[in-house]
């Protein structure tokens, strides 16, 4: 059985670039030259002057991504994006250098919550086929280990080392103009983890200074990604419900946040984890023992449900199985949630066309390959032992049923339990 969602090398490198964003004043391909830095109106004093600071950052940002001038194509610029992958649709300097205008309002962050190995890299790449969406991948890996200490062998999906990729180098440069990388790291240590949750949940009124600083740095990083990509909707796949809760504190005048709860059958997660030979990055080998895998699946989905689903307008739940067996209906439902028409994107997925990964530096795909393609993966149905399946259902069948799964057979992808709140 053909059975994976994973990456395969794109055969469409060299295709035409995207038109510039309709939210941009002009692209670098415009004969009038590259977009001017946006000029903000007189700032309103929101939340103790936070708005003032972000607009000052906007005005002081250097010209994005290299010295591409009037009428100069990315290839003519001779910049690092001039290779074959750079010519893939959407990976042109023009797209990356789009400028936001003040009337655009704040960017939106779509935060994918749930658990790893649920198809989020594929989904993010698919959504980024829309000209207003950029998929940033697992942002929790910034700054460590990607920027600090920095691994020269870790590749961005554009083919360059992440440390030398012009997109991520520009993002880092912009970020470090007003923040220290350690702010992100300190915040992750203190607030992104389970032990930080009680403090977050009991939080009332103005957050304490360290938490406020962390939220500000996350807002700014998302804003920089929006400006650098020229896209107003950023998709992040970091999964952690605690981190999702930190985003809950973001100032909506600076960053709107929505939550997409992506669920995959826990038996597929168990089967996948049981086949991995390497220990997790933090060396906690016991996390891959079946009881802990099941416990992680339960905990991460339960936390996502309880922490992110309260605001029904900002929460959508979909299942991996719906995405790969009914891609059009599922992608269009996500489109309605985001206020975007994704029918063209859905058509491309249905055709099983390669979907390029545009400057994704942290995610689950085969390194060195610049695209993904739809390959439904139901290998666990034949690969996972009956004993493991029975144990999974005994321990977590109650939650699996709640999320739309059946003990014995694959449930209809359009059944009521498979639907999210919208
Ligand atoms: Zn890159």
Mean pLDDT of 178-183: 94
The span from the CA of 284 to the CA of 275, in Å, is 16
Range ranked top by mean pLDDT from 5-14, 144-153, 293-302: 293-302
| C-alpha of residue 14 to centroid of ligand 1, in Å | 16
If you ran DSSP here, which 8-state letter would residue 97 be given? T
| C-alpha of residue 166 to centroid of ligand 1, in Å | 6
**CA distances, 143 to each of 140, 150, 225, 230, 348 (Å):** 8, 8, 14, 22, 34
Mean pLDDT of 194-204: 78
Classify the C-alpha dihedral 370-376-380-382 as positive or negative.
Answer: negative
| C-alpha of residue 18 to centroid of ligand 1, in Å | 17
Least confident range of 61-75, 168-182, 187-201, 278-292: 61-75
* 28 against 220, higher pLDDT: 220
| C-alpha of residue 134 to centroid of ligand 1, in Å | 13
| C-alpha of residue 247 to centroid of ligand 1, in Å | 25
Mean pLDDT of 349-367: 84
| C-alpha of residue 173 to centroid of ligand 1, in Å | 15
Q: In the 3-class helix/strand/coil scheme, how is 154-210 assigned residue by residue?
A: CECCCCCECCCCHHHHHHHHHHHCCCCHHHHHHHHHHHCCHHHHHHHHCCCCCCCHH
| C-alpha of residue 365 to centroid of ligand 1, in Å | 14
| C-alpha of residue 80 to centroid of ligand 1, in Å | 9
Q: How confident is the model at residue 153 (pLDDT cuts 50, 70, 90)?
A: confident
The span from the CA of 288 to the CA of 278, in Å, is 10
* 375 against 283, higher pLDDT: 375
| C-alpha of residue 302 to centroid of ligand 1, in Å | 34
If you ran DSSP here, which 8-state letter would residue 64 be given? S
Radius of gyration of the chain measured on its C-alpha atoms: 21
| C-alpha of residue 392 to centroid of ligand 1, in Å | 39
| C-alpha of residue 319 to centroid of ligand 1, in Å | 29
| C-alpha of residue 29 to centroid of ligand 1, in Å | 20
Q: How confident is the model at residue 61 (pLDDT cuts 50, 70, 90)?
A: very low
Mean pLDDT of 51-80: 32
The span from the CA of 218 to the CA of 175, in Å, is 10
The span from the CA of 268 to the CA of 294, in Å, is 11
| C-alpha of residue 8 to centroid of ligand 1, in Å | 17
**CA distances, 250 to each of 100, 108, 258, 421 (Å):** 20, 11, 11, 23
Q: Where are the domains of the chain?
A: 6-265+315-377
Least confident range of 281-290, 312-321, 328-337, 390-399: 281-290
Across the chain, what does the average pLDDT equal?
76
| C-alpha of residue 34 to centroid of ligand 1, in Å | 20
* Strand-strand pairing, 371-373 and 355-356: antiparallel
Question: What is the pLDDT, as a whole number, of residue 74?
Answer: 32
The burial of 83, by beta-carbon neighbours within 10 Å (0-12 exposed, 13-18 middle, 19 or more buried), is given as middle
The tokens of 233 are what?
A: 């909707």
The span from the CA of 118 to the CA of 135, in Å, is 16
| C-alpha of residue 357 to centroid of ligand 1, in Å | 9
- Of 375, 345, 301, 404, nearest to 133 (Cα)? 345
| C-alpha of residue 304 to centroid of ligand 1, in Å | 30
| C-alpha of residue 396 to centroid of ligand 1, in Å | 40
If you ran DSSP here, which 8-state letter would residue 98 be given? -
> How does pLDDT run across 229-258, given as a tens digit for each residue?
999 999 999 999 999 999 999 999 999 999
Mean pLDDT of 342-370: 85
Is the CB of residue 71 less than 8 Å from the CB of residue 30? no
* 98 against 200, higher pLDDT: 200
The tokens of 135 are what?
A: 């998929």
The span from the CA of 15 to the CA of 275, in Å, is 37
The span from the CA of 275 to the CA of 270, in Å, is 9
The span from the CA of 400 to the CA of 397, in Å, is 5
| C-alpha of residue 400 to centroid of ligand 1, in Å | 37
The tokens of 100 are what?
A: 């936001």
> How does pLDDT run across 97-151, given as a tens digit for each residue?
334 544 578 999 999 999 989 999 999 999 999 999 999 999 999 999 999 998 8
Strands ordered across the beta sheet of 233-239: 133-137, 233-239, 108-114, 256-263, 315-319
Q: How confident is the model at residue 48 (pLDDT cuts 50, 70, 90)?
A: very low
The tokens of 251 are what?
A: 């100032």
* 276 against 328, higher pLDDT: 328
| C-alpha of residue 172 to centroid of ligand 1, in Å | 12
| C-alpha of residue 358 to centroid of ligand 1, in Å | 7
- Of 108, 81, 100, 104, nearest to 17 (Cα)? 81
- Who contacts 10 (Cβ-Cβ below 8 Å, separation ≥6)? 88, 354, 356, 369, 370, 371
Q: How confident is the model at residue 382 (pLDDT cuts 50, 70, 90)?
A: very high
The tokens of 68 are what?
A: 């591409």
Q: What percent of the chain has pLDDT over 70?
A: 70
Q: In the 3-class helix/strand/coil scheme, how is 28-45 assigned residue by residue?
A: CCCCCCCCCCCCCCCCCC
């Amino acid at each position: 059985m053909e059975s994976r969602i994973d990456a395969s090398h794109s055969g469409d490198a060299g295709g035409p670039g995207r038109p510039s964003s309709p939210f941009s004043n002009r692209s670098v391909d415009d004969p009038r030259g590259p977009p001017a830095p946006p000029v903000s109106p007189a700032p309103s004093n929101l939340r103790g002057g936070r708005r003032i600071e972000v607009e000052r950052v906007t005005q002081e940002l250097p010209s994005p991504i290299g010295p591409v001038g009037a009428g100069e194509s990315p290839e003519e610029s001779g910049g690092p994006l001039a290779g074959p992958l750079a010519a893939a649709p959407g990976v042109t300097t023009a797209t990356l250098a789009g400028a936001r205008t003040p009337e655009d309002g704040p960017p939106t962050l779509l935060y994918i919550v749930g658990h790893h190995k649920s198809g989020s890299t594929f989904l993010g790449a698919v959504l980024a086929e829309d000209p207003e969406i950029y998929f940033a991948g697992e942002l929790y890996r910034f700054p460590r280990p990607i920027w600090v200490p920095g691994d020269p062998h870790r590749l961005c999906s554009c083919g360059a080392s992440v440390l030398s990729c012009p997109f991520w180098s520009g993002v880092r440069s912009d970020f470090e103009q007003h923040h220290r990388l350690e702010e992100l790291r300190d915040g992750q240590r203190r607030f992104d983890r389970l032990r930080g949750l009680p403090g977050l949940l009991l939080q009332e009124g103005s957050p304490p200074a360290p938490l406020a600083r962390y939220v500000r740095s996350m807002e700014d990083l998302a804003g920089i990604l929006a400006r650098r990509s020229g896209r107003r909707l950023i998709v992040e796949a970091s999964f952690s419900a605690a981190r999702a809760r930190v985003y809950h504190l973001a100032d909506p005048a600076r960053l709107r946040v929505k939550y997409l709860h992506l669920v995959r059958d826990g038996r597929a997660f168990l089967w996948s984890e049981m086949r991995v030979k390497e220990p997790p990055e933090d060396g906690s080998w016991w996390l891959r023992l079946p009881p802990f895998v099941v416990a992680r699946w339960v905990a991460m989905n339960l936390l996502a449900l309880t922490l992110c689903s309260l605001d029904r307008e900002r929460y959508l739940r979909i299942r991996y199985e719906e995405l790969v067996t009914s891609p059009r209906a599922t992608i269009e439902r996500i489109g309605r949630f985001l206020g975007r028409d994704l029918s063209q994107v859905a058509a491309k997925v249905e055709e099983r066309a390669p979907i390029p990964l545009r400057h994704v530096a942290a995610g689950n795909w085969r390194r060195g390959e610049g695209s993904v393609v739809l390959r439904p993966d139901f290998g666990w149905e034949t690969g996972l032992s009956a004993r493991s399946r029975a144990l999974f259902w005994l321990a977590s069948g109650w939650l699996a049923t709640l999320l739309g799964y059946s003990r014995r057979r694959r449930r209809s992808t359009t059944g009521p339990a498979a639907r999210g709140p919208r």
